[in-house]
Structure 1
Amino acid sequence: MTSNKPKSSIVIIGNGISGITTARHIRKQSNVEITIISDESPYFFSRTALMYVYMGHMQFEHTQPYENNFWEKNKISLVHKRVAKLISEKHMLAFEDGSSIVYDKLVIATGSKPNRFGWPGQNLKAVQGLYHKQDLEQLEAWSGSIKSATIVGGGLIGIELAEMLHSRGKKVHFLVRESSFWNAILPEEESEMINQHIRLHGIDLQLETELKGIESNEEGRAKGVHTTRNEFIECQWVGLTVGVSPNIDFLKNSSLETGKGIKVNSFLETNLPHVYAIGDCAEQTEPLEGRQPIEAVWYTGRMMGETLAKTLVGEKTKYVPGNWFNSAKFFDIEYQTYGTVTSTPVYEEEQQLFWKHPKKNNSIRLSFNPSTNTLLGCITMGVRLRHSVFDEWLTNKEPMDSVIKNFKTANFDPEFYPTYEKELTMEWETLKRHNNP
């Protein structure tokens, strides 16, 4: 094994949003040497845009927010290699090609990998997930021979894949274990809206249906799936989208403390000195009330990167994730969520105001504390809100009367997005009369 004198004192494994945000914010505050390692792509790209490359809306290079010379200009070294092992007692990373690099401080931001649960046939050709750039390339390589595809798992990646394949004219079968799409997250009305919307696009949505196994043709390629309904679905490609898990296999024999992810404290420190973990691969040992130990979300990854950068330049900073926020698209229905909105609320702790357009896929759901009448959270479908306004309301525990009265200020762009303040006000007044007869 050869060892090269390090070019940097801070080494970052992973060039996703967490790792890149850390590097950029360190550079804004310090001239310390930085190296970013990734075996996925030489340059940072927007992972959420991969689907639009497949759908023909953009070229892959358009997913890269920075010019290729940005990194050299900012004196950030890029290493396109795969890390095989962490040798923490030597402050060293060993690469698969036999070379190595040493570090003064190490940031692990290796993201997630698609889950596989030991199904028969899960390792056949034309069976894959969708997370990495290589997954997109693999899907593209198979696409010419796909007439029918089966997607297993009803989360955000699953519905993205359904839209992608549908855009190429493929027949799509969509197996979802739950009784309604994403109903652990979405309340009943929103979940049913998406069920109908998926089917309206010609997708064969099969609820309460799981994968039993994948059958192979004589060439070792998937030719169909067996379901828990004892049905065989003929297809030439299978997408496994039953969630993701931290991408930390290369750390199995290291001294790092791991659970599902790499365990970190509120300063994003691991159990090893000068070793940190952020993003999808980090598992909080002390998550805030109502938050998950692992949050595989773009927004939290960016926030962790910004926080850790301060610590790495000498301003030790606690990670405070702020109010929960996420967004997605279900085909052409935009979805936003802020704060806490449970799919099955406990009445004494959370009440909800819900309005839905009688004909369109537009809805607003506000959750509030029934004892104080203060805002807890929001879910919108087909209604885009201003993040800054809602974030401030949640931080200030805004009274519901004030939220309803000023809801127009939260509308993202009234010129292009319809506003429904009048209808929401009527629903609120009705709910208040019901609560206070």
Structure 2
Amino acid sequence: MQHIVIIGNGISGITAARHIRKLSDNKITVISGETDYFFSRTALMYIYMGHMKYEHTKPYEDWFWEKNRIELKKAWVSKVSSEEKKLTFTDGKSIHYDQLIIASGSKYNMFGWPGEDLKGVQGLYSKQDLVLLEENAPDNKICKRAVIVGGGLIGIELAEMLSTRKIPVTFLVREHNFWGNVLPESDAKLINNHILEHHIDLRLGANLKEILPDKNGRVKAAIVEETEEEISCDLVGLTAGVTPNIDFLKGSGIELGKGVKVNRFLETNVKNIYAIGDCAEQQEPVDNRRPVEAVWYTGRMMGEVVAQTICGNKMPYKPGHWFNSAKFFDIEYQTYGWVFSEPRDGEAHFHWKHEDGRKCITINYQKESRKFIGINTFGIRLKHAVIDRWLTEEKTIDEVMANLQQAHFDPEFYKRYEKQIKEQFKTEKKINA
């Protein structure tokens, strides 16, 4: 029997532990300093908003771990000694392993802004960040205004969270549209308008220059780089992306880049050490996927794959077609396949937008072959299985449009919008013929 040690109790590490237990009688230890038990990180915002309690975010009862012989240790790892197969904790204690899985997740970015270490300046990634947010922004009397820096998914989540407590928000986004480096312009502008509808002070093309302190070392204002405007605030939310949490691995002999470098089997350069989830950097990226993907479902898939390999069924990581989903205040977003902010060589976008300004689709396809490459939807929900099959079967955009009713998730989409979408598509096809 081997001792499998897993650093990190997020979706990646816990999925690996569960599947190793299903496949073997190996001893399993999961280490995390963040929380005692696994919880759904994506639900953090709903705790602050009052929709859920922390205990509601735990997918398993506390007795689950002992019953399944998965030992949980609350500690922070300070050093990995790969030659000795030993982990050292911040309290000086240590543990030995036979095989090690690194699933240490991410940390929010700090780019060296003056004042970024002041009280009242924070990110939103961990359970500790949520506790800190309750201290920094319990209500609109203590926090009279917040400034959020960075126009990604965490930034808009934080804006929604604060707005539920009636805390005014100024949102600094360096791109000329929200998420403009990811979304096509038409999609991004729809979200711009939706953010403004929720009374968020959205500043596009705006960067943070400096955070100013008060006499007690707390934030009192943020300076906008382009205009030198001083915005009085009691909270600065740093949401300009995340990076792998790997500082504790320096000097371990494990090859590092932006993350922990792994091959398609999620193996590092050191035998019997693997990396999965947000902290893993693929040396052989799949399709157009980024080498590091901080995505819930890919972390889960990596956990399943590495468990197979550790238990004797060596398996490569094959994530399949890209997909993701999110929520921008009241608008749900789905993406399948590849829809880039600008069509690439030989590609084109078909875009339809509903007159209410809250629903749209963008389809990416190859001009010559008319092969369907990907689709974005806002305010319209599609069936994952159908779109995934169309991508695998390399359907054309014409076939997709002709069979769009097969993909609708609820009847309202078919009844209300499909006819309009098809009519616009036929009109544009004639014009471009």
Alignment of 1:144-183 (within 5 A): 144=138, 145-183=142-180
CA distance in 2, matches of 1:415, 1:78: 46
- Note if contact 2:326-2:332 (Cα within 8 Å) is conserved in structure 1: yes
**Residue number in structure 1 paired with 2:35:** 41
Give the letter aligned to residue 220 of structure 1.
G
**Residue number in structure 2 paired with 1:86:** 80
User: Cα RMSD between the aligned structures?
Assistant: 1.4
1:371, distance to aligned residue in structure 2 (A): 1.9
**Residue number in structure 2 paired with 1:313:** 311
**Residue number in structure 2 paired with 1:214:** 211
Alignment of 1:410-421 (within 5 A): 410-414=407-411, 419-421=416-418
1:416, distance to aligned residue in structure 2 (A): 8.3
Q: Deviations over 1:76-106 (max 9, x none)?
A: 1100111010010110100111111111110
Give the letter aligned to residue 134 of structure 2.
E
CA distance in 2, matches of 1:398, 1:306: 30
- Note if contact 1:310-1:317 (Cα within 8 Å) is conserved in structure 2: yes
1:244, distance to aligned residue in structure 2 (A): 0.5
- Decide which of 291, 294, 299 is 2:292's aligned counterpart: 294
Is 2:128 aligned against 1:127?
Answer: no
> Bigger shift: 408-417 or 321-330?
408-417
**Residue number in structure 2 paired with 1:265:** 263
- Note if contact 1:13-1:107 (Cα within 8 Å) is conserved in structure 2: yes
**Residue number in structure 1 paired with 2:11:** 17
Alignment of 1:30-429 (within 5 A): 30-144=24-138, 145-228=142-225, 229-346=227-344, 348-414=345-411, 419-429=416-426
Identical aligned residues as a percent: 57
Give the letter aligned to residue 98 of structure 1.
G
* Structure 2 spans left out of the alignment, 5+ residues: none
TM-score (normalised: structure 2): 0.97
1:236, distance to aligned residue in structure 2 (A): 0.6
Q: 1:299 to 1:186 in 2, by over 3 A?
A: same
SS in structure 1 opposite 2:426?
Answer: helix
CA distance in 2, matches of 1:371, 1:388: 26
- Note if contact 2:266-2:276 (Cα within 8 Å) is conserved in structure 1: yes
1:432, distance to aligned residue in structure 2 (A): 2.1
1:360, distance to aligned residue in structure 2 (A): 3.9
Give the letter aligned to residue 277 of structure 1.
A
1:434, distance to aligned residue in structure 2 (A): 2.4
Give the letter aligned to residue 423 of structure 1.
Q
Q: 1:427 to 1:415 in 2, by over 3 A?
A: closer
1:250, distance to aligned residue in structure 2 (A): 0.4
CA distance in 1, matches of 2:429, 2:168: 47
- Note if contact 1:92-1:102 (Cα within 8 Å) is conserved in structure 2: yes
CA distance in 2, matches of 1:75, 1:197: 48
CA distance in 2, matches of 1:212, 1:365: 35
CA distance in 1, matches of 2:113, 2:131: 24
1:407, distance to aligned residue in structure 2 (A): 1.2
TM-score (normalised: structure 1): 0.96
CA distance in 2, matches of 1:37, 1:8: 17
CA distance in 2, matches of 1:199, 1:424: 26
- Note if contact 2:363-2:376 (Cα within 8 Å) is conserved in structure 1: yes
- Note if contact 2:380-2:413 (Cα within 8 Å) is conserved in structure 1: no
Give the letter aligned to residue 253 of structure 1.
G
Give the letter aligned to residue 46 of structure 2.
Y
Q: Deviations over 1:96-133 (max 9, x none)?
A: 11111111110000110000011110000010000000
CA distance in 1, matches of 2:415, 2:272: 50
- Note if contact 1:8-1:35 (Cα within 8 Å) is conserved in structure 2: no
**Residue number in structure 2 paired with 1:3:** none
* Structure 1 spans left out of the alignment, 5+ residues: 1-6
1:51, distance to aligned residue in structure 2 (A): 0.3
CA distance in 2, matches of 1:65, 1:415: 32
